[in-house]
Amino acid sequence: MFFRNLGKSGLRVSCLGLGTWVTFGSQISNEMAESVMTVAYDSGVNLFDTAEVYASGRAETTLGNILKKKTWRRSSYVVTTKIYWGGQAETERGLSRKHIIEGLRGSLSRLQLDYVDIVFANRSDINAPMEEIVRAMTFVIDQGMAMYWGTSRWNAVEIMYLTWVGAMTWSPLACGLLTGKYNEGVPESSRAAMKGYAWLKERLYSDEGKKQLTKIKELHLLADRLNCTAAQLAIAWCLRSEGVSSVLLGVSNTEQLLENLGSIRVLAQLTPPLIAEMDALLGNKPRSAKKEARS
């Protein structure tokens, strides 16, 4: 495991972090969640990400119970959560000062923590003035409820108003598409078969989804050449970017976690010619300039 500064801060985070979206409090048992977290921590992962909306708060509760049970020093790991969708009431969602403060208090209660290391605004809010958002985030930091704050899924124009720069990437395997599990259909135990994820199944059977699956099969052939899995190749592709501080992993068992952690050794194989080959295959090369591969 290696570590990078998170954005322009001095906070050092593991290049691979563990996410809890879909899995904690929902897809996997609490026992499996604890096993996954233990293996991750023992492997050098120090970043654990969640959100108030994940499994209606149960993901935070599960994460908090595990952290309370463990004897890990609080100073040895980083916990991040996200605020926006908190409840059904109009005042329980969005980025008003009221919800940022009350939402984070709710998250801390479920996590059983005095503070989170980073609180993210989980999306932009056209109803909340930027000044109100910044002042509310500054307040929760001044009150010791968070160390840093950041943004999630904000566009470039919105981020221009802020000074926090850097990225944590999520869903590096495109909800499992890149693993190849959907190449021959939708397995019963997969995310696309879960209640509430009909949008993912529809995406798979769409014309665009079929095109993506064809590209994924070619990506698997490229992974075979490198003696790695397509999942490891995809995660390494994310890691090689200079602007990425940490890649969040979403796994449902320890075997998947160990496989994904193996992406670090693949990183050294991503030479400029190989990156160019992947860009040509996928056809999704970002337009922005600095996209040099790490060697």
The answer to whether 83 and 99 are in contact (CB under 8 A) is yes
Residues 6+ apart with CB under 8 A from 230: 178, 179, 180, 216, 219, 220, 223
Q: Which residues are catalytic?
A: 54
Angle between helices 254-261 and 230-239 (to 10 degrees): 50
- Alpha-carbon dihedral of residues 140, 142, 147, 150, nearest 10 degrees? 50
The C-alpha angle with vertex 134 and arms to 92 and 248, in degrees rounded to 5, equals 75
CA distance 104 to 116: 9
According to DSSP, the residues that pair with 78 across neighbouring strands are 47
> Residue 25, CB half-sphere, CA atoms under 13 Å: how many?
22
Type of residue numbered 259: E
